A = this chain, B = another copy of it.
Amino acid sequence: MANAEAKDRKILVAVDEGEESMYALSWALTNIISKNSKVILLYAKPSRVIYPTVEGTGYLFSSNIIATMDKYGNDVADCVMEKAKKLCKEFEHVKVEAKVEMGDPRDAICDSVEKIEPNILVMGTHGYGIIKRTFLGSVSNHCAQRVKCPVLIVKRPKPATEK
């Protein structure tokens, strides 16, 4: 899929820990991203969950545990971005920018579309069973309904064993 008159474009790709989003990125790189495109990788890091104690004065977790959770969150973000950038490197002509936003992926993605105004938003989706689909697919559904730009939802084909 190509168009000779394609101009410089901003492609926002939402990435997460799942193989689905990496497949979506890879598909987009192969099929719709031109030489003059800039790929903006977006990862939404979940906000730290704070549990107030019964008396409302402290936290359920000690500071050590919170620090460990924060480190884990950062490690995951780094790992996702590294994997995504590695995929992009195979397409030398593509400019890449990485953005990590805090919060619910649905809000982070919609807010980023509003700020960045990309030409297209690319997302993966999960499709293994109705419960997973209902829960996890809600991010792409939510964003597809709310953002103003075109949305490309790429589903990873099921491995042969799952067919």
Residues of chain A whose beta carbon lies under 8 Å from any beta carbon of chain B: 1-6, 9, 11, 24, 27, 30-35, 37, 119-120, 125, 127, 133, 137, 140-141, 144-145, 147-155, 157
Write out the residue numbers on chain B whose beta carbons fall within 8 Å of the beta carbon of A3: 1-2, 30-34
A153 to B144, CA, bound (A): 7
B120 touches A144 (CB 8 A): no
A151 to B32, CA, bound (A): 13
A148 to B127, CA, bound (A): 9
22 example contacts (A-B, Cβ-Cβ < 8 A) are as follows A1-B2, A1-B3, A2-B6, A2-B34, A3-B30, A3-B31, A3-B32, A3-B33, A3-B34, A4-B35, A5-B30, A6-B31, A31-B120, A125-B144, A141-B141, A141-B144, A147-B155, A148-B157, A150-B154, A151-B153, A152-B153, A153-B153
How far apart are A94's CB and chain B's nearest CB, in angstroms?
Answer: 10
Write out the residue numbers on chain B whose beta carbons fall within 8 Å of the beta carbon of A24: 150
Number of identical monomers bound together in the oligomeric complex: 2
Write out the residue numbers on chain B whose beta carbons fall within 8 Å of the beta carbon of A35: 2, 4
A125 to B34, CA, bound (A): 25
| 3 shortest interchain CB distances as A-B pairs | A2-B2, A2-B34, A150-B154
CB within 8 A of A1: which of B27, B33, B155?
Answer: B33
B145 touches A137 (CB 8 A): yes
A35 to B3, CA, bound (A): 7
Q: Which of A1, A27, A125, A154 has the most CB of B within 10 A?
A: A1
